[in-house]
Amino acid sequence: MSVGPDGKIDFEGLDVLDIELFNSNMNDLLAGKEVDLPEFDFLEGKKIYGKRITRINENQPIVIEGIHALNGKLTEYIDDEEKFKIYISPFTQLNIDAHNRVPTTDARMLRRMVRDFKYRGKSAAGTLEQWSQVRAGEDKNIFPFNDEADVVLNTALVYELAVLKKYAQPLLESVQPEEPEYSEAVRMLKFLRFFEVIEDESPIPNNSIMREFIGGSIFVE
């Protein structure tokens, strides 16, 4: 497990993954075998076995999702003919006015903040504190491999900031002035002033990517 120049553990690095176990599990599934896929418990910080014992049907696809999915080293023991690589990211196309666009980075950070609080027990300050490390990880682990993708999908939604605001605003307001992340929280609160809140979420489909962050997705076990 590598440590960054700031002395913090790099949780985004490829070397924190059990590559051999992952490849073994995937090849066993492709061979039609039953596999006990471990689930990582973010609150406990360890693998949990016995919850996802599964096998696939003949010709059934396996979806591998994560920041290293385009990196050949992640699946180096899997035949390349078995792979079809897709790069998925929100590429925001909205402008606040004629001179100010909505930064893709801010939209992505708000997604992560809402998800981290809802599913990983992390505060807004915790997400903001880790964000620079996440960005550095992207420069190292994602962007150099974009050209490996067979397809690129833009997941930005024109309404998503109005939905995320309801969740993100109170989280940002909880950051205290004495915390190092306070100035960034204030900046994000000022940014969110440009958006109204969408209270009624019922029109959002249960298979929308937005459900990954706010809940209610059909893609749950």
pLDDT of res. 8: 66
Q: Is this prediction's pTM over 0.85?
A: no
pLDDT of res. 45: 79
- Contact (Cβ atoms closer than 8 angstroms) between residue 85 and residue 152: no
Residues in CB range of 74: below 8 A, 6 or more apart: 14, 17, 19, 22, 64, 66, 68
36-to-11, 29, 51 alpha-carbon distances in Å: 24, 10, 8
Gap between the Cα atoms of 157 and 167, Å rounded: 16
pLDDT of res. 3: 61
pLDDT of res. 190: 94
Element (H, E) at 166: helix 160-173
Element (H, E) at 40: strand 39-41
- Segments in the chain below pLDDT 70: 1-10, 220-221
pLDDT of res. 13: 79
